[in-house]
Amino acid sequence: MTPLEPLKHMLQERLPQLELREEEPMERHTTFRVGGPVPLMALPKEEAELQTILRCCQEAGTAPFFLGKGSNLLVADEGAEVFVVKLTGALGRLEAAGETALYVGAGVTLAQAASFAASHGWTGLEFAHGIPGTLGGGVFMNAGAYDGALSQVIQWVDCLDETGQPRRLEGDALELGYRRSVFVRLPWLITGARISLKKGEEGEIRGKMADLAQRRRSKQPLEYPSAGSTFKRPEGHFAGALIQECGLKGAQVGGAQVSEKHAGFVVNRGGATCRDILALIQMVRETVKKGTGVVLEPEVRLLGCSLDPLE
């Protein structure tokens, strides 16, 4: 019997309609398009299912891994021995929640939320339109781009604790900082958030979104699978500039490459494995530290794999 077998049977008994997949390849669920299988994945469609899933996990002594669009995730070629709960089929609530506010479920993409806000003439979320992830993942890492971040517009966040009990966090309790939130250390499931914006003009808002989209297309390697910016921005520096300064633009390991368009991105040029990507990230970190003294920290989350510590 596998370690997750008792949990599987518990879920099948209590949630007979829940979609469960066994030995599900994670390459189907990450924007890097790499990753081996996980033994069990649940694809809930209702928040009530999530509450039961969390209670079952607690009873079974299993810590779930919550997955959105997998846009900031690198999974080992061998997969990972975890129970994955994929949220993009659930938590799809998206509605007005005040004169200039909206409620966004964790499974809603940031692009959908930004477009919804624009259609109401609400400004402040334009920066998020091109971020390839969900609201849940965005809150988890306080996603941001072009001088904007979710911390600037979030009023409060709804979540479920490890027992499935609903909670609401706001203000300092969210611990929102650069690419971090309280949920990095707290094993609670984000279910949605109230976003507070300002009145604007739809044409101007969509014009700004189009301008940012054009800037992304011209500067970022959107034509290849990746996990977005590979490294966090080091204080006082830009990761891409440091990598380029060290002559690593275009460097390649197997099918993984430091983008020739933007050195801050590691991309899958075709057939890359997790090992290729990890080896390239490691080489970049070592070379940049040796050449500049700056330690680059990965922004991408690692599942079932790890980087060697820098000497």
**Structure tokens that stand for 259 in this block:** 């983008």
Strand partners, 65: 84
Cα torsion angle, 132, 134, 136, 142, sign: positive
Point out the catalytic residue in the list 47, 126, 179, 194: 179
Point out the catalytic residue in the list 71, 226, 229, 259: 229
Compute how many other C-beta atoms are within 10 angstroms of the C-beta atom of residue 127: 22
180 in active site:
no
299 in active site:
yes
115 in active site:
no
| Active-site residue list | 179, 229, 299
